[in-house]
Amino acid sequence: MAANVPTQRLTSFNASHAGFEAHRDWERVLNRGGYGMVTWPAEFGGRALSLIEWLIFEEEYYRAGAPGRVNQNGIFLLGPTIMEYGTAEQKSRFLTPMAAGDVIWAQAWSEPQAGSDLAAVRASATRDGEHYVLRGHKIWSSRAVFADWAFGLFRTDAESTKHRGLSLILFSLTAPGVRVQPIAQIDGELGFAEIFLDDARVPVADRLGPEGEGWGVCMATAGFERGLMLRSPARYQVAAGKLLALAKARPERVDATIEAALLQVVMDAEAYALSIFATASRLAAGGTIGPEASTNKIFWSELDLALHSVALAILGAAGEMLVHPDDAAHDGDWLDGFLFALAGPIYAGANEIQRNIIAERVLGLPRG
Amino acid sequence: MDFTFSAEQRQSADMLAGVLGDICSLSHLRTSLKAGAKFDDGRWATLARLELAGIMVSERQGGLGLGAVDVVLLAQACGYAALPEGLAGYIGVTVPLLAELGCDIVLQAILAGGSYVAHQDHGFVVARDAAAASYGVVVDGDRVAVVAADALASVNVASIDPFRRLARLTLPAALQAAPAAIARARERGAVFAAAELVGIAQRAVDIAAAYAKERQQFGKPIGANQAVKHMLASAQVKIEFARPVVYAAAFEADIGSVASRARVSHAKLAAADAALAATRAALQVHGAIGYSWEADVHIFLKRALALSEEWGERPYHRARVQRRLTTYKFAPDTLFALETDHG
């Protein structure tokens, strides 16, 4: 990994087409070495490694300072769902180009009136022979500005309400009738977009899972996302290590308050790693990930925010400064990371929704 | 590291939980409270018949020769039941210490059944149930003495937790140095207190969740309100991220390195944090009844308060984690003390 990681830091995949394509090239490098998604079977470009081995791979990946995965939506979310629900034809058509970085995926869940209440989606897929005709408006679609394809929930039964009558449909972002409108994020970058669907025609063969059962299929995807795949512990351990280095380099900035916060975030990064190893042990022994995945999502999102908040506290007045040519220590990265971490408690199911899930499905409290 | 407990480990924890359900239910505790929360000879005798006392004693000395990982779930079950008698500390700390010190006569009396030994270690643990003890283990710094009960002078001290029948034992004149055995006992003490705290935390959340389902206000169960849900969910998150740390600490407890000591301290801090948050949330969910003597919440809240500072107060444990951060590299490959730390 260390021998292959780009020597020049790549520009953000949200900042420009060039940055996105540089990250795609890195995905191709990974895939050529058989490291695109190491847990996948060899026929789809993987190495059939176990979950524990994947965690080890992730440790090496983050330790080498390798670029962020532009391919994340595909390999961690859609890929596992295709393996579980896809037809043989869908597996062969989608998984190999996904692992190769040739097709990069965006998410298309939310709509203007369906955020936390995802089951309120209105975008429709109307059957017309061997096609669906997509109409509607998706929003907050991560990576959609530069990505190739998207996956999202559509109402295939016009009479249905809530989570019934929905289907998970895959569509090309360059198909006729699909228009992508970038949205600038809090950092000014184009990390997400609106997608307007105006009679876009999609083959029925691009529906994943049974018609009308998209909610269950999509919840499987959300389970992977909230679960251990989206955030491997090495990410936070490496960040905590960098934070300790920052504190050691600037001892005059570390007062008792900062020291206490530092201790807490480092312990939390360890706790997250131990918890993931405990989950991986359970899965290896034949267990499953249930609603307790929601506790993970709350924990890592709050940990990420706390880590970066401590860094900004150490940086003090310098914390507001963006990365600039004289910034040899890359202090500005902490601000970038902080801004990104602010989104953590919101995306992939807001933490309030996760707390509802824990209360209702783990503790058995009544639905509100 | 494989976090999967063996079938035997899970079965013995289930067995103990079952017995505690029969002899240490909330109604038993309420009845006992009314009668002054005295040492329950019958319950202690029932627990003695489980023959757990020798679980961490070597087979050569007549024990089962098992380790902290085999006791951690038992300690959790003791916490869940709010067992007043200090079984976890007894079988996991006091008895193994006596075995290590080579106190064979005391050990044989314990393994023969029934005998109880009080344990005092200034700054770490206050002796409990001195009146019921046949012997006392008294530690001062890195020196220790084991004395028969009739030679033990003690003064009872009331705890906020009526079930913790504390006593201050007078320091015997002759103590022997045993730094390594005492250090090991303190590590295990912290691990099993942490495990008890995790059990306490889970019971507090379970009791509060049951109450929130039942108690109606504004025409619906109070548990249907997000303010209540989120408070309990947040406590559950703390429990979920303390538990694996406690299990890892049990696995590493006997290593005695900078990294393993930091893990034990992390476990203790995280478990205390979870138990204090969970019992506090349980009190709030119960409302006024939770503040009453009659409700069960206070039993868990007070135990959490006491155990959070037992086997090392929180500043002591924070300092040990701090030591690791300043002396060891912190990275993914240093996660497990066994593989990385030779200090």
Q: How far is B230 from chain A (nearest CA, A)?
A: 5
Quick check: B121 and B185 in contact, CB under 8 A?
yes
CB contact under 8 A, B221 and A366: yes
Give me the tens of pLDDT residue by residue for chain A, a chain 368 residues long: 889 999 888 999 998 999 999 999 999 999 999 999 998 999 888 999 988 899 999 999 999 999 999 999 999 889 989 998 999 999 999 999 999 999 999 999 999 999 999 999 999 999 999 999 999 999 999 999 999 999 999 999 999 999 999 999 999 999 999 999 999 999 999 999 999 999 999 999 999 999 999 999 987 765 655 556 678 899 999 999 999 999 999 999 999 999 999 999 999 999 999 999 998 898 888 888 777 788 999 999 999 999 999 999 999 999 998 878 787 788 889 999 999 999 999 998 899 999 999 999 999 999 98
CB contact under 8 A, A244 and B325: yes
Closest CB to B322 among A263, A284, A292: A263
Q: How far is A240 from chain B (nearest CA, A)?
A: 8
- How many angstroms separate the CA atoms of A155 and A157, rounded? 6
What is the DSSP-derived secondary structure letter of residue A240?
H
Where residue A294 falls (left for φ over 0; alpha for ψ -120 to 50; beta otherwise) is alpha
- Which residue among the candidates A27, A58, A59, A225 is catalytic per the annotation? A225
pLDDT digits (tens, 9 = 90+) for B191-222: 999 999 999 999 999 999 999 999 999 999 99
pLDDT of residue B234: 98
Question: Among this protein's residues, is A27 annotated catalytic?
Answer: no
Closest CB to A356 among B226, B240, B325: B226
pLDDT digits (tens, 9 = 90+) for B122-135: 999 999 999 999 99
Q: CB contacts < 8 Å between A and B, how many?
A: 138
The average pLDDT across B240-267 equals 95
Q: How far is B174 from chain A (nearest CA, A)?
A: 40
> What is the pLDDT confidence band of residue B326, given thresholds at 50, 70 and 90?
confident
> How many CA atoms lie less than 13 Å away from B304 in the CB half-sphere?
30
Closest CA to A133 of A165, A158, A108: A158
Q: What is the pTM of this model?
A: 0.95
pLDDT at B105 over 60: yes
To test the contact with chain B by mutation, choose from A57, A274, A292, A300 the residue with the greatest count of B C-beta atoms within 10 A, namely A274
Provide the token pair at A181.
Answer: 């409108």
If residue A193 lies in a helix (H) or strand (E), which one and from where to where? strand A192-203
Closest CB to A359 among B2, B232, B240: B232
B321 chain-A contacts, CB cut-off 8 A:
263, 266-267
Please return the burial class of A326, using the count of CB atoms within 10 Å of its CB with bins 0-12, 13-18 and 19+: exposed
